[in-house]
Chain A
Amino acid sequence: MNSDLFNEFTFFILAIFVGIEVISKVPTILHTPLMSGTNAIHGIILVGAILIAASANDPLHVALGLVAVVLATINVVGGFVVTDRMLEMFRGRQAPPKPDQKPGSTPKQT
């Protein structure tokens, strides 16, 4: 096993632990936005799609590369935009009123 491959494997293993650790305490209401956010992050495949598309030199590779770039771009752009739209709705509502709120202060005026 060469050292490059070994490095890659090291990153892979460490990233597994980081990935698990980083979201271990997520409230239920954020499950869907988080799913959508991670969905956008795997849009990183666009990097791979560009790498193969750029050097395409025969019709088969051109076709594969073009489709890969289109699909990956949809993933990354759509992923981030749709996540933002979901989270937009949480704006301003996330500080839950404390139960020991003073009786005089109404939590919401409309």
Chain B
Amino acid sequence: MKLAIAFAYLVAAVLFIVGLKQLSSPRGARRGNWIAAAGMVIALVATVPLLHFTTAGAVITIIGIAIGAPLGAISARRVKMTAMPQMVAAFNGVGGGAAALVAISELLSQSAHPVFAIAFPSALSIVIGGVSFAGSLVAFAKLQGLMTGTPLTYPGQQVVNAAIALAIVALVIAILTIASLPSFFVPLVILALVLGIAFVLPIGGADMPVVISLLNAFTGLAVAASGFVLGNFALIVAGTLVGASGTLLTTLMSQAMGRSLGNVLFGAFGAVQTGTGAAAAGGPEGKTVRSGTPEDIGTMLAYARKVIIVPGYGLAVAQGQHAARELADELEKRGVEVDYAIHPVAGRMPGHMNVLLAEANVPYEQLKEMDEINGEFKSADVALVVGANDVVNPAAHTTPGSPIYGMPVLNVDQAKNIVFMKRSMRPGFAGIDNALLYDPKTVMLFGDAKDSLTKLVAAVKAA
């Protein structure tokens, strides 16, 4: 029996690896997800013979699954495309919480002096799982708009965070050397949660996908640690796979934004002192904004030779991709050259824009990556920015104190004319002002992206 279980776990591990491999190629990604799911089912079924049910245990296992499965499935089905990143954050958080609970439960079952091989991974799982749980909830709240997306910083924050981390280390040592008592591990749980919150608070909303990816890797490690506690091969292998691949993915994601991971995680700290000064310098005081009618802008587009459309989150929210395609078609009919400039992190997740525009059947060859298109803005008559903001903010080049300084941005400022379609003057996701909105070359078109695009289509037709 033991051999059969071990074999099933091995099959599950292989399916996880094959699934991950497929997930990282566009062709097999969807299949890869289901291969991994099949591995999960096999691992779960193989675990059944290992269980020693008490009556209460059988009841809570069934009730727990009966509650959790529909909750997970329904929220995953209902969530809007634009809210996917926070959904992933929420699912990741609960996983981290579960890992910590497993470790707590196991420590409670042990004597006051568990062997090191149990006590150490338990403490790790509690700390990492707790950080992941609380951090993911903050990430969720920031993305869902339940709290501000701007970095929350205060003087001495790093000292406070370091003190929390040190207290955690001290408690872990106490559990290992003195005794595994609730009076040590209850504070450990609380401090881990506090650290998770404190760690994510100073990070801006625009960087949340990277943070979620990092917390995802954390949960993987917490799961692996729980695997050591329970001596379970499936948990160790699957958790470690996620921990390792998640760490690599996190660095790849921050590279796509042109930043180091350290800059993403701790970038806000350096800005504490200069923050107010920089905001004042780039601020709107005394500057005016020019806003145009759809008719004016439609005419400008119709008589341009080259138009570059820069889609962003606003397009996704308004579901304006079909209207954008319509406008591009109309312009092309008149002989205008149209391209789409796709910033790698436009929208709220990497690849967001590709997905949306593909849905509207925008020809693949019109979607230009940042490096490919950046040289072309100089020759563009109009850059039409549809609901994007931070990814075209020249502050990334010009303002060293800015939270997005160093991030590669689209060189929209080089176009001869700039049209900004926005709902309001509110700053973008990173919570910083965009000087380009006050540029004399810029015309604003306020309103919902989809409505505005539809009006532009009509105006171009009439022109």
Is B350's CB under 8 angstroms from A28's CB? yes
Residue B397, interface by CB 8 Å? no
- Is the CB–CB distance between B26 and A72 below 8 Å? no
Count B interface residues, CB 8 Å.
114
Cross-chain contact B51 with A50 (CB below 8 angstroms): yes
In the complex, residue of chain B having the shortest beta-carbon distance to the beta carbon of A37: B23
Do the beta carbons of B60 and A20 come within 8 Å of each other? no
Interface check B314, CB cutoff 8 A: no
Q: Tell me, yes or no, whether B72 is within 8 Å of chain A by CB.
A: yes
Q: How far is the CB of A90 from chain B (nearest CB, A)?
A: 6
Answer whether A69 and B60 are a contact pair too, CB < 8 Å, given A34-B24, A49-B98, A87-B33.
Answer: yes
Instruction: Say which size band chain A's interface belongs to.
Output: 35 or more
B244 touches A15 (CB 8 A): yes
Partner of A31, one of B54, B102, B106, B256: B256
Question: Would you give the 0/1 interface string for B225-263, flagging 1 where the beta carbon is closer than 8 Å to chain A?
Answer: 011101111111111111111111100110010000000
Q: Which residue of A lies closest to B31 (CB)?
A: A87
Write out the residue numbers on chain A whose beta carbons fall within 8 Å of the beta carbon of B88: 32, 35-36, 39, 79, 82
With A66-B60, A96-B364, A110-B361 known as contacts, the answer to whether A32 contacts B245 (CB < 8 A) is: no
Q: How many A-B residue pairs have CB under 8 A?
A: 382
Cβ–Cβ contact A81 & B73, under 8 A: yes
State A4–B36 Cα separation when bound (angstroms): 26
A54 CA / B64 CA spacing, docked (Å):
11
Q: A19-B245, A107-B363 are in contact. Are A31 and B253 (CB under 8 A)?
A: yes
Separation of A57 and B128 alpha carbons in the complex (Å): 27
Partner of A60, one of B108, B239, B240, B358: B108
Given contacts A75-B94, A108-B361, contact A42 B223 (CB under 8 A): yes
Chain B interface (Cβ within 8 Å of chain A)?
A: 16-17, 19-21, 23-27, 29-30, 32-34, 36-37, 39-40, 43-44, 47, 50-54, 56-58, 60-61, 63-65, 67-69, 71-73, 75-77, 79, 81, 84-85, 87-88, 90-92, 94-95, 97-99, 101-102, 104-106, 108-109, 117, 209, 212-213, 216, 219-220, 222-224, 226-228, 230-249, 252-253, 256, 344, 349-352, 354-355, 358-359, 361, 363-365
Q: What would be 16 A-B contacts, judged by CB atoms less than 8 Å apart?
A: A8-B227, A19-B244, A31-B256, A33-B29, A35-B212, A37-B32, A40-B37, A41-B16, A47-B235, A48-B102, A51-B230, A56-B56, A62-B57, A69-B60, A70-B64, A85-B84
Q: A residues near B, CB below 8 A?
A: 4-5, 8, 11-12, 15-20, 22-57, 60-62, 64-91, 93-94, 96-97, 99, 107-108, 110
**Closest 4 pairs (CB-CB, A-B):** A73-B68, A69-B64, A19-B244, A78-B72
